[in-house]
Amino acid sequence: MARVVVCIPTVGGRDAMLRQTVDAWADQLHSGIKTFWVDGYTWGEGCNRIASLCCGGGYYTDPDYLVFAADDCVPRPGALKAAVDHWLTTGTIPGARFYQDGQPLAAGFDDLPAGTATTWTRLFLLTPEVYRQVGPLLDISWFADFDYSDRLAEAGYPITVCDGFAFDHLDGERTWAVDGEVDRQRRVYREACAVACRSPRS
């Protein structure tokens, strides 16, 4: 059985979503859940902090896989097995599918046929070796997935759609992002890319 560490950064006020998400992962991991508190970080840096506890002599010594997940994305039954099988059989990064109220969340990504090459996945299943090669996620919450998807491709790790690596999104598609928050987060993303000497996607 593969050893998997699922990194789920969260913030206050999302306890019900987090519990639903953690319970779904626990059902697939068939093991107890270890909780690490890494308060005060963005999603990207939260994933990095948890990964650092679990790799290279940390809490666990080099699990077989790391999953960088989110507190409002509930894995559907079989999602973890599907992602691992996809990695082993195709050698590509499994691209996740997302659903909102039973429908694909984003047209052009979440409705692509299985096996299709894609430029983006919101969540990541990686080996520790790939994570070490590509490096840590940007210290941002929004658009960190864009940047990391691009960096995986640049490092020679293409992403292809994995049919069973599927999630139900609990928080809506940015419906709570008002008063210019999307524009603010995009500026943060562009600034972080500039510091890292990379080109932003948008």
pLDDT of 10 higher than 90: no
196 inside domain: no
Range of the domain at 97: 4-174
112 inside domain: yes
Q: What percent of the chain has pLDDT over 90?
A: 63
Instruction: For residue 45, give the CATH number of its domain.
Output: 3.90.550.60
97 inside domain: yes
pLDDT of residue 33: 63
Instruction: Report the domain count for the chain.
Output: 1
pLDDT of 174 higher than 70: no
Q: Which of 39-48, 137-146, 168-177 has the highest mean pLDDT?
A: 137-146
Separation CA 120–CA 155 (nearest Å): 14
pLDDT of residue 77: 96
163 inside domain: yes
pLDDT of 71 higher than 60: yes
150 inside domain: yes
| Nearest Cα to Cα of residue 123 among 89, 148, 150, 155 | 148
194 inside domain: no
Convert the pLDDT of each residue in 18-70 to its tens digit: 899 999 999 998 766 666 666 678 999 999 998 888 876 555 667 889 999 99
42 inside domain: yes
Residue 97 in contact with residue 161, Cβ under 8 Å? yes
Name the pLDDT band for 2 (thresholds 50, 70, 90).
Answer: confident
pLDDT of 197 higher than 90: yes
182 inside domain: no
pLDDT of 202 higher than 90: no
Between 93-97, 99-103, 159-163, 171-175, the lowest mean confidence (pLDDT) is in 171-175
Name the pLDDT band for 1 (thresholds 50, 70, 90).
Answer: low
Name the pLDDT band for 99 (thresholds 50, 70, 90).
Answer: very high
Residue 87 in contact with residue 125, Cβ under 8 Å? yes
